[in-house]
Amino acid sequence: MGKKIFGIVGLVFLLAYFLSLVLHISANFDQYQWDFRTHRKAGEIFASNLDPYDPRILFPQAQTTFLYNYPPVTLYFYQFFAQFDYKSAFHIFLITKCILLIGLIYFWKNIFLKTNTTALFCLFCLFAFNSAVYRDLVAGNINLVEQVLLWPAFFFYIKHRLILFCTFCLLAAGFKMTPTFFLVLLLLADDKKKYQYFVCSGFAYFVYLFVQYMMVPDMFTAAIRNAFAVVSERGTIVPSTFTLISDVFDWLSENAGLATPQAIRFATLAAFVAAVILLTYKAHTRLKSAKMENRRMLEVFLVCLVYALIHPRFKDYAYILLIVPAYYIIMHNRSTKANPFVFFFAILVYPPFIVPGTEIIFRFFWKYYPLVVAYSIWGMYLSEIFSIAKAPFPAPIPSDQ
């Protein structure tokens, strides 16, 4: 009874904290949701028959330096918000994302985790990976909508309903192309038609892009050009393996005079990517040979981690994708007794100031802290899977195997 009351009180405090965050964002509508401000203005410019991909048109009107880099068809989505004045559109988008977030957390808890520790999970959701959820709400990116489509896709994969999996996966890739990566799950499925589904899904997405190219070739090529123009972001904004390696080489060049050619940087990145993929593949082979009843769910989690670790531009808010995989392994890991430490480590928030003499720690640890957590979680999965004998993970989702 005491645990239940403590859980309810904790949940109330977390809801109050979340509400305070939302009210803070709402009260500062002129400062936050900068991505939405840019994208809404792009929709407005498009509605007036001008080119929103042209920075000479977009920047002065949106008062921003962010380019619009989504496919042309997505402009119709933001054109809807352009019907309202900016303040109203800001709050409609923010409230919609909050509703989607609450629904997503409910979906995670009841479908993937089957956990009764609601307050603990909500605490993890709010603070994990340097408060990725808050960073998403502040940025006003479409990422949360993408997550709301991806996780039903993962559910359908686990349930072996592969056509629905492909459908939701492609819908999630409507704005950004990279979620098509998750179609690789088809190659891990136990289905004779998996290669057919994979090819058909790839062809469907190609048609989605090709039709846009045929209808508005200039805008489509501008979208591709703008997408490549934003790859220079690093550190706390883009804590990815690619940017970390680039920062390390830049630091060596600045402080040790060790200038390295691009070929060596690329080879180092390729080695990291190859190591992540190879070790994960070996873990999957072990997973498959062990005939674990929740294998499909673990495949999803492993692919999510691989995606995050090898994505060249995995942004701070994108780490929402790893909340469920991280929480699951922390709660079910048995190969180490460090679970409480990892839980605490995962919900740390890096300090707002740099202690003199610790600049290098900030540069290569705190700035890339979500990535460090992601590698730690990935390592926990590999350790657990490789240490499996006959006792499998708990299986919250019944499998059809």
- pLDDT tens track for 109-133: 999 988 777 889 999 999 999 999 9
The pLDDT score that the predictor gives to residue 289 is 85
Here the tokens at position 358 are 């610790």
Is the separation of the CB atoms in 174 and 211 below 8 Å?
no
Mean pLDDT by 10 residues, the chain (401 residues): 73 91 93 93 93 91 86 95 95 96 95 85 93 94 96 96 97 95 94 94 96 94 86 77 88 77 88 96 89 87 97 94 95 74 76 55 75 94 80 52 39
Distances (CA, A) of 329 to 40, 128, 311, 365: 39, 14, 22, 22
Is the separation of the CB atoms in 150 and 100 below 8 Å?
no
SS3 111: helix
Task: Kindly provide the residue ranges of all beta strands, DSSP E only, lying in 251-329, ordered along the sequence.
Answer: none
Here the tokens at position 208 are 């989605």
| Closest CA relative to residue 157, chosen from 254, 287, 296, 37 | 296
Length reported for the chain: 401
230/227 Cα distance (integer angstroms): 6
Is the separation of the CB atoms in 282 and 387 below 8 Å?
no
| Closest CA relative to residue 142, chosen from 31, 300, 34 | 34
The reported pTM is: 0.90
The pLDDT score that the predictor gives to residue 47 is 92
The pLDDT score that the predictor gives to residue 351 is 59
The pLDDT score that the predictor gives to residue 11 is 86
